[in-house]
Amino acid sequence: MRLALQDRLFVLTGAGISAESGLATFRGSGGLWNGHRVEEVATPEAWDADPELVWRFYSMRRRDALAAQPNAAHTALARIEEKLGDRFYLCTQNVDDLHERAGSLRIHHMHGTLFQSRCVRCNKSFPDQSFYETPDLPTCKTCASPIRPHIVWFGEIPLDMDNIYRELDCATTLLVVGTSGSVYPAAGFVDIANRRGIRTIYIGPEEPLNTHAFDDIILSPATQALPTMIELVP
Ligand code: BJW
Ligand code: ZN
């Protein structure tokens, strides 16, 4: 992936980039949590049926993310951003904060963030690192409605799609790292890139579902492939 001075890089990351930091992927060996598939805990229906279960899931995710450290792949992307400045844009599906802790600045969490919550009625998000693991769930100080994780569940619209599409529209290379290509709209970014005729590259140890859509597939863990790319960026 040698870049020229005028190139603009759009990076999409998924759970695979945090796998080597010890955070479980969604569709990796056996799925995720206490026998629950992600579709059972990451939906508005799950929230309506059992908010306590959903909060226990996200409390565990907060605990795991707080204990994890950024790895060489997160750091490599931050180094590439240092070189490219505003010609770099990182869109992550991940809700952990490992990209930020590695130094990434131009980053957007399209599926929300673990360390914010919001009132279901007022809709205003706020920083929150608490664990809610008892039936005594949090409520809004203003309107007393339930507080939910600031996460985009299935059937909800990912955050700030307009800006994502604007960035995709002016990118010259799309680099996708560690995502199975099974969840839309992120899995469709490569099709948008192809319609624009820009270069598309995938990095991960196994082929994603949309593998046919990429120009190049680098079958390698992110911590091995990404650090070697720093020198290819002017
Ligand atoms: C490594 C590695 C290493 C391992 N190095 N790599 C039918 C057709 C098309 C679409 C739909 C449909 N029915 C419904 C839909 C829409 C739906 C959808 O896509 N469903 C599919 C299941 C089909 N999507 C939605 O509902 C989305 N909203 C939407 O579409 O709104 C409409 C709209 C869109 C746009 C504009 C206007 C309107 C919302 C999706 C929300 C997803 N939410 C979740 C959970 C919340 C976050 C959380 O709790 O963390 O987000 S689901 C879960 O999947 C999570 C992830 O961000 C997301 C993607 O998973 P990811 O990252 O790909 O992880 P894995 O586990 O699948 O893959 C890991 C990869 O890493 C693997 O490939 C490994 O090989 C690799 N790997 N080690 C590099 N060391
Ligand atoms: Zn409220």
Tokens of 55: 């909060």
Q: Contact 16/225 with Cβ under 8 angstroms?
A: no
Rg of the chain (C-alpha set): 18
CB of 14 closer than 6 angstroms to any ligand 1 atom:
yes
CB of 165 closer than 6 angstroms to any ligand 1 atom:
no
Locate the ligand 1 atom nearest the alpha carbon of residue 112 and give its number.
47
Bond preceding residue 185 cis, omega within 30 of 0: yes
Tokens of 157: 């619209």
Alpha-carbon distance of 104 to 82, in angstroms, equals 9
Looking at residue 36, what is its pLDDT? 77
Please give the helix or strand (H or E) that residue 43 lies within, else none. Answer: none
Q: 158-211 pLDDT, tens per residue?
A: 999 999 999 999 999 999 999 999 999 999 999 999 999 999 999 999 999 999
Q: What's the burial of 63, exposed, middle or buried (CB within 10 Å: 0-12/13-18/19+)?
A: middle
Looking at residue 89, what is its pLDDT? 98
- From 116, 154, 162, give the residue whose CB has the most ligand 1 atoms within 8 Å, as the site to mutate: 154
Looking at residue 4, what is its pLDDT? 76
Residue nearest to ligand 1 atom 64, measured at CA: 15
Q: Which of 99, 109, 111, 150 is catalytic?
A: 111
The answer to whether 111 is a known catalytic residue is yes
Q: Does the pLDDT at position 30 exceed 70?
A: no
